[in-house]
Each structure stands twice: as C-alpha cells, then as structure tokens.
Amino acid sequence: MKRTVLLSVVMSATMVAFGQQTNPEVHAVSAKQQMSAKAQVAVDAPATPLKPSGNTTNAKSSHGKYRSEVYDFVKVGNTYYDLQTNAAVGRRAILHDDGTVTVAWTFSSTESTTWPDRGSAVNHFDGTNWGSMPAARTEDNIRTGWPSIGEFRDGSVYTIAHDAADGGLVMTRNTGRGKTDFKQDANKVFEHPDGNMIWNRTANVGDTMFALCNFSAQEDDEDVIVEGIINPTLYARSLDGGKTWSKLGLLPGYDSTRYREGGGDTYAIDVRDSVVAIAIGGRFKDLSVWKSTNYGETWTKTVADSFAVPRFEWGTHLIDPNDPAICNDGGIDVLVDMNNNVHLTSGRVSYSDDDTTDELARSGSYFHLYHWSENEPEWKICGVLINMDGSTDPNTGAPTYDITGETTNSLGTDGNPANGLAYAARYGGTSISTHSSISCDKDNNIYVTWDAPMELTFNDYSANYRDVCITYSTDGGATWANPQNATQIRSMEAVFGCMTKRTDDFVHLIFQLDIHPGTNLQNSGTGNLHPNVENQILYAAIPVTDLMAGRLGENNLFVDKVQEESRVFVVSQNQPNPFSDETEVVIYLRAGSDLTCTVTDAMGKVVSVQDMGYRNAGNHKIAIDGTSLTSGVYFYTLSTEDSKVTKKMQVVK
C-alpha cells in the first residue's frame, strides 16, 4: 500500500473558520480575510520586476477601467468531470494552417461521481461554426482521461488518453479535420508489465510523435523503480503516426542523482519542425528542459530551476523556515518559438518545515507566474496577480491581495477542509497563479495565459473565484505587458485555460467554467462542499490588436467606468459558404452593443435587415437568414452603434 502524505498549504493570512451556508450555489460576497503580500516580497524580489513591453500602454492607467458588462463566449462542450489536470494543462487546442481550430477535453455526461463514461471529447471550428457539442467520448469502450490531441500529415486528428484502471494509453483518430468518425486503435500504447502508464503528454510533427507518461502513483498501485527513480516519467517516439513506438525510457540526464521520483502531469512538450522541447518538473524537484534539433535523435539537457535538495523525501529532508527553498509548482508549459528558442512558464512555491515531529510540509505560495527561456535564462515575473482594488501595505507600499485561506486550502485525511477552515478550493499545485499555457505568432510575439483568484469575489464559504489571465511579450520574454483578465467572469470559476500553440490575428483559447471554486473530485469532501454539476467548456477568440492595446483591461474596481467603442470583429468567413437557408459567423465585440445584420445584393441594394438585439462584449455565434434570398453573391454587414464590418457570401438554391 502506498504511503499517502498530505501537503498542507499555510498562507500568511490569519485563518478563521466560517460556518457552512445553507445554499452553496448563491454567489453573494461573504466575509473575507485579507492576505497581505508583505510576507511575499522577499521571495519575489530576485525576479526581474514586471515591465510593460515597449509598444504597449499601461493597461491600468489607460485601459484598466472596470467593465460592468458581461463577457460572452462560445460554448463548445460540457462535462460533469471537472478535473482537467493535476498540474500542467497540456496540448488540447490546435490552430490549423487554414484557420480552423480543433479542441479536446476530458468529458463525462453523467452526474455519477464515478463518471463511467469519462473519456475524450473533441469539437471543431470550421472557420466560423463549431460542431454540435459532443454527447459521447471518442473512445469505444474504455474509460479514459486527460487527452492530448494533434493532426497527422494526412489531415486526420488523433486523441491519446490514459486508461487509469488498467494502465496504458488509448489512441483514437478520425479521417480528417472536423470529422466525428473517431475510431479507437485496437491496441493500447505503452502498456507496461511493471505498472500502469498514465498521464500522457503527446506532440507531433507530421507522423513523428513524441510522448511522455508516468507510472501511476495511486494508493493501490505498487511502486515501480527504474534506474533508481520511483515511478519515473518515461519518454518514447513514434515515426509512423503511433502505429509503432520506441521502447519507453528515461531521457538522458533524468537520473537518480537528482530525481527520487516522478510525478503525474508535471511535464510538457512542444515541437516545431525538427526541434523538440520537453520540460519535466514538479514540486520539490528540478525543472529541467530537454531540447533536440534532430527529431529526438539526440538531446541537450538544461536545468532551468534547480531545487535545493536533490532526491527530496518527505520527512527526511527538513528545510529551515528562515531559509525556504524555491521550486516550480508543476503547472508548467513549454514552447518552441519561431526562432527555435525554448520558453518555459510556471507557478512557483517556497518550502520549509519547522516541525520535525511529523511529515507535513509547510508551503507558501507565490502570487505570480514566471518565465524562463534560452535567451532569458533568469526566472522573472511574466504575470502578476491583479490588484483589483489597488490596495497596498501602508508600511512597505507592497500590494495586498484579498485572497482567502479557503482559496488555497486542501481537504484533510478525514475528508473535511484542513486548517480549521470551512472550505477547500486548492488545485494540484500550490502556487496561486498556475495552469499556464504559452503560444507565439509568426512575428514571434509570445502569449501566456494562467488562472488566478480574483479579489473581492467569493463563494459562500469565502473562497475566491478564479479567472483566466493573459499577458504577452514582444521581445522574446525580456519584458512583459501588464496582465489582463481574459475571461472577466469573476462570479464563477474560469480555469484550465489552454491556447493553441500558434497564434494568428486572434488568441484562440478554451477554458472550463464551473459555478464552484475548486473541483468536485478534489474539494467536495464529506460535506459535499463542491456538488457535482455540469461544467461548460468555452471558446474565446481575442483580437491580438485589442490585447496589445490593453483593451481587455484588468477589471479594476477603483476607477470610473469608461465607454469603449463597440467595435465588431469577424473571426473568420461565414460557414457554410455557399449556403442555401442559413449560415453562421463568429464575431468578437469589444463592448456590449445593439447588433444589426444588413444584407445587400451585388448592386448594393438592401435585401434584408436583421435586428439581433443587444449583445454583450465577447464572442458570439451569429446566424444569418438566407431563406428569402435567390442564388447569387451578397454582402452582409454587421453593425454596432459605432462600428461595422462587411463580408461577402454566396447563396445557392
């Protein structure tokens, strides 16, 4: 039986228990504790302070106005299984070379907390229209979880996810972009005679695939030791689209001199042409990156973030609380940019233990997200926690954040919230800013998303809700723009943001929306604090021009609202096109506005006007009625109160 050790998160706030509310789904602000950033200044100080990129205005001063209007997104799916990862988000969104997008997530359609139909769900954006929300997993008869997705040379799309019960990875593939005819491969990948291989991270270029996975470290599994490492992370490569694979093995330099054990979901992978980058980290471990420039034939290892204690072991290595050790939180991502340089992003934590009588660790969380690259090898802040009310410590001037203990609390071994608190909303990593995703565009601008708790917005048990934040760098990570709130929901939990690895005129992002902070699987406990509810999978297409102009804003509360121009952006051409009766288009509205669709013929004569009512800021799927039109070329104009855009379409009867 595997020894289970509870990691207890202790923040600098005074922890006060709150009584259980009778209706946990009411989102009224309840009592809160204020947590000062004062204690964090010393550990954050070595990183380079965040600076705006050279060509962007300060988002707080010019565009950080509080927007009271609701932001809308396109719903692409749902799931009752709400834990999309333990740490690193992985590769779950693809921007294809024709501008279409394919996304995947872990899916279950049942309210049962055993989730018997759990598996991979896939949806496709054909340029304007998303497919129907999936009603079933892509796998045939195996309960799976946590897919990676990719596209082969012939245009077919694959999913690869793990079978947690029996081990091994299950692969499905369709016959082309947007097809729903996924077929499950007859044989599982990476079945291992000594233990369960699960938690894959897979990437490919053409038909050459690269995969990472880890031995299951669940309570009923026997430990597997490979070359002195307990349950290590293993690597394999396929040259034929996953039909055959090399033998699973350790990457060079991933050995028992530094690593005592592996860890699920604490690794990431990216590939561009012949360049492959792999990052392996986790709490109380080195964060190292392996780079290959020849499709994985040879590797160069770099330790990007060295942990103070090699082969760290609970209860054996104790660290002075006056000199805490710093490590990554496992919620990492890796990117190969357009110049073939490798970038890493991660949350970070500090560790110490001043109690030698037990094995409980004490961990303090950093507020911010961090970046490392080959050209900028010193870890620096790339994303700060948004200071909603602008509060500062009167003695030091450091920002203070209203982040409660319930937000970072975990369940105790008795199934109740630990530390005497009333709620537990902690995710797998202990960093406040976590679940990072990193992307770049053709000009080598770097984009990063992560989720973080938002001040002044709490559930009935005083846990902060999270939003997905976003920032960018125009100089390879040397400087970073001020953070902006990509989701701006605040009254619900927006988490597990995943961007496409490549960005065009829009940042393409999916995320999960939950009405409760935390997850049912990890945080509900014996008191059913987090009921098993349906979660939404949402898609956002954010114009890069608006992002770089700071127009999303920080969602601050302490300044007057300003009216933004309600400019309308068409994400892409209407689909289908040509069409007969109805066609659809996805748009982005900078601000809420009444929306009108005017259709004219080739001679400029107005043939129809559709009043589409008031639409909130954000993304919308718009249907254009063509039932009364005859065959021919037409133009549709989408108009707000101060903006309009015109596109061509064709009707065929």
Please say if the pLDDT value at position 120 is more than 60: yes
Neighbour count for residue 387 (Cβ, 10 Å)? 20
* Tokens standing for residue 81: 């299984």
Report which DSSP code applies to 40: G
90-105 mean pLDDT: 96
The pLDDT value given to residue 53: 31
* Tokens standing for residue 98: 């024709």
Sheet holding 617-625, edge to edge: 71-72, 617-625, 582-589, 568-570
411-423 mean pLDDT: 91
In this structure, of 14-18, 117-121, 464-468, the range with the lowest mean pLDDT score is: 14-18
Give the DSSP H or E segment for 406: helix 405-408
Higher-confidence residue of 592 and 138: namely 138
pLDDT tens readout for residues 240-260: 999 999 999 999 999 999 999
- Mean pLDDT (the chain) is 85
Residues pairing with 339 in the sheet: none
Please say if the pLDDT value at position 50 is more than 70: no
Please say if the pLDDT value at position 447 is more than 90: yes
In residues, how long is the chain? 653
Higher-confidence residue of 604 and 355: namely 604
Position 61 confidence tier, pLDDT thresholds 50, 70, 90: very low
125-141 mean pLDDT: 92
- Integer distance in angstroms from the first to the last C-alpha of the chain? 68
What domains appear along the chain, each with residue ranges and CATH number? 1-88+274-562 (no CATH), 92-264 (2.120.10.10), 568-651 (2.60.40.1930)
Task: Give just the sign of the alpha carbon dihedral 476, 481, 487, 492.
Answer: positive
In this structure, of 162-171, 403-412, 565-574, the range with the lowest mean pLDDT score is: 565-574
The pLDDT value given to residue 324: 82
404-431 mean pLDDT: 90
pLDDT tens readout for residues 491-504: 899 999 999 999 99
Q: How many angstroms separate the CA atoms of 292 and 258, rounded? A: 21
The C-alpha torsion from 125 through 133 and 74 to 480, rounded to 10°, is -70
The pLDDT value given to residue 5: 25
285-292 mean pLDDT: 97
Phi then psi for residue 477, to 5 deg, are: 100, 5
Please say if the pLDDT value at position 382 is more than 50: yes
pLDDT tens readout for residues 565-592: 778 888 877 888 899 999 988 898 888 8
* Tokens standing for residue 303: 């330790």
- DSSP, collapsed to helix, strand or coil, labels residue 28 as coil
* Tokens standing for residue 190: 């990476």
Q: What is the percentage of the chain residues whose pLDDT exceeds 90?
A: 66
* Tokens standing for residue 336: 């190969």
Query: Which regions of 293-358 does DSSP assign to beta strands (E)?
Result: 300-305, 325-328, 333-336, 342-352
DSSP strand pairing (362-373 vs 8-9): parallel
Q: Which of 71-75, 269-273, 408-412 has the highest mean pLDDT?
A: 269-273
| pTM given for the model | 0.82
Q: Minimal CA–CA distance to 16: which of 324, 374, 329, 409?
A: 409
Half-sphere exposure of 178 (CA within 13 A, CB side): 12
Contact partners, residue 296, CB within 8 Å, separation at least 6: 208, 210, 237, 276
Q: Which residue has the tokens 């690259």?
A: 373
The pLDDT value given to residue 563: 58
Q: How many angstroms separate the CA atoms of 198 and 265, rounded? A: 9
Q: How many angstroms separate the CA atoms of 56 and 548, rounded? A: 6
Neighbour count for residue 38 (Cβ, 10 Å)? 16
pLDDT tens readout for residues 313-369: 877 777 777 788 889 999 999 999 999 999 999 999 887 775 544 444 555 567 899
pLDDT tens readout for residues 607-646: 999 999 999 888 998 899 999 999 999 999 999 988 889 9
